[in-house]
Amino acid sequence: MSNPILHHVNLTTTRLKEMIDWYGAVTGMTVCHLAPVGAWLSNDSANHRLGLLAFPWVSDDKAKEAHTGLHHIALEFGSFQGLFANYARLRDIGVTPTLSLDHGLTTSMYYHDPDSNLVELQVDNFGDWGKSKHWMQTSPEFEANPIGVFFDPEPVNSTFLSGQSASDLHAAIFASRFLPDPLPVIGPPASPA
User: For residue 70, which of 79, 78, 61 has the smallest C-alpha distance?
Assistant: 61
Q: Does 102 bind Fe ion (CB under 5 A)?
A: no
Q: Which is nearer to Fe ion, 9 or 74 (CB)?
A: 74
Q: Which is nearer to Fe ion, 43 or 159 (CB)?
A: 43
- Segment holding 131, helix H or strand E: helix 129-138
What residues pair up with 26 in beta bridges, in sequence order? Answer: none
d(CA 82, CA 76): 9
Segment near Fe ion (CB under 5 A); pick from 3-11, 49-57, 62-70, 71-79: 71-79
DSSP assignment letter at 184: P
For the chain, give percent helix, strand, coil, nearest 5: 30, 25, 45
Segment near Fe ion (CB under 5 A); pick from 21-29, 72-80, 132-140, 150-158: 72-80
Q: Does 147 bind Fe ion (CB under 5 A)?
A: no
Instruction: Find the binder of Fe ion among 66, 70, 74, 179 (CB under 5 A).
Output: 74
Q: Which is nearer to Fe ion, 113 or 120 (CB)?
A: 120
Cβ neighbours, 10 Å, residue 165: 10
Instruction: Find the binder of Fe ion among 102, 113, 120, 124 (CB under 5 A).
Output: 120
Q: Which is nearer to Fe ion, 34 or 76 (CB)?
A: 76
Q: Which positions lie near Fe ion, rule CB under 5 A?
A: 74, 120
